[in-house]
Amino acid sequence: MYLDFFKLKELPFRLTADRRFYFLGTAQELAKAQIRNGLAEAQGCMLLSADAGVGKTLLIQDLLAAIPARYLVVQIRHPEMSITEFLQAVLAQLDEPTPATARAELLANLDDCLARQAAMHRIVVLVVDNGELLSPELLDEILGLPVRRSAGERNLRVILAARTPLEKVIAQSREQGRPSRVSLHIKLAPLKDADTRRYLEHRLSIAAGKPAQIFEDDAFVEFQRYTGGVPRLLNILADAALMLAFNRSRDRVNAIDVRSAVDQLQWVEFYSRASLPELPVEPVLEVEPVAQVQAGIAHISVEYESEIVADLDLPMGKLTIGRAKSNDICIDSQYISRHHCQVLTTPQFSVIEDLQSQNGILVRSRRVSVHRLQDGDEVLVGEHRLIFSRMDRSERGEITMVPRVPQALADVTDAAQTRLLRSSSDLRDAAEEEVD
């Protein structure tokens, strides 16, 4: 690697969350102040929303690290569970394990626990990360928790961190006449130009153990142009640019190195991706037997031990792959993470993105974070191989949206459910990246 060459003690742009590298930009400082005020002013449910990779999780970790002792924190990072499982998990973290399985009994136990904490002048802070993964029923339950008790006994605060689509779901609920139970909504924005420079220099200085100036002035312009100030994208691009400069034996990274890294990653300018037309926001949809005829030009096969175990046309939008049953393609394998990767398909291109999986995804024997798929590409995911093809209508003939899934799927389960691409922010997520 390039550590010795650039006089660094550790990698400066890892994708894994590390509070030592955390940088407070203008937007992050404002968001922290708003959440602190919300906790102090008994604002029951607070929503922290942002696009993927902007830094919601690290912001919350940084906030909780300095939270006063009177706050008792409960964190749920993977909320894909039923209402009763969720309540049991909350009670377990409050040292109130219970064999109860009925919702009413679990809520009564939670009420009693909150009352005991209130008697000790403690405030319980329930932090739910990855809120976009909540079922509608569990989301409704969580939003109602802070208002269950009388005004004098309300000692529960809820911080719900989620990607932008959840904010739109809540907005739709208001439009349908349901009262909003979100007392404070904070939208975390990407870094502006000046903060982008400070962010990159901050991480380099932490990694070097002293101030380090490795990037030329013109490089920062390119970083902002191709990442939009999204920290996760900055990490990916900065790491690639450092590697290219190292390979060229240059101890300073300039705009040429950054653009070369962009070409290697097959990225386009950030706001070109962001300006793609927004698709309607929909809940999770089942694939219908007949769908839009313009879709389906992308195709994917899943191969295991040299046999095709799943074979389907890709719809426009996002298809998730992982071990969890909520994925569109579920692969029950120890080498596959719960949420391993996703494929985003638009009329123009398809992109596969690693979702910070343990074993990653490999294209041409090289681990990648994001790869723009070409016809014939093979992607290694654990012990499974994804084979991608894309054809023009004139080459393909009639196109069907119905997934062609064989009866015998080995350990790959039904891939018929797909998720509709929710907004242009999802295009931004996958045409990149991507972090948090």
Amino acid at 304: Y
pLDDT at residue number 344 = 77
Q: What is the pLDDT, as a whole number, of residue 310?
A: 84
Q: pLDDT tens digits, the chain, 436 residues: what are they? A: 689 999 999 999 987 778 889 999 999 999 999 999 988 887 778 999 988 889 888 899 899 888 898 999 999 988 888 999 999 999 988 988 777 889 999 999 999 999 899 899 999 999 999 888 888 899 989 988 887 764 345 689 999 998 876 766 666 555 554 556 788 889 999 999 999 999 999 999 999 999 999 999 999 999 999 999 999 899 989 999 999 999 899 999 999 999 999 988 888 888 876 443 333 333 322 222 223 333 346 888 999 888 888 888 887 677 889 888 878 888 888 889 888 888 877 666 788 888 878 788 999 888 887 788 888 899 999 899 999 987 644 444 433 333 333 323 223 322 222 222 223 333 334 344 333 4
Q: 406, 203 in Cβ contact below 8 A? A: no
Question: Which pLDDT score is estimated for 325?
Answer: 82
Contacts 24+ apart (CB under 8 A), 409-413: 409/309, 409/310, 410/304, 410/307, 410/309, 411/304, 411/309, 411/331, 411/332, 411/333, 412/302, 412/304, 412/309, 412/310, 412/329, 412/330, 412/331, 412/384, 413/325, 413/329, 413/330, 413/331, 413/332
Sign of CA dihedral 270, 351, 1, 359: positive
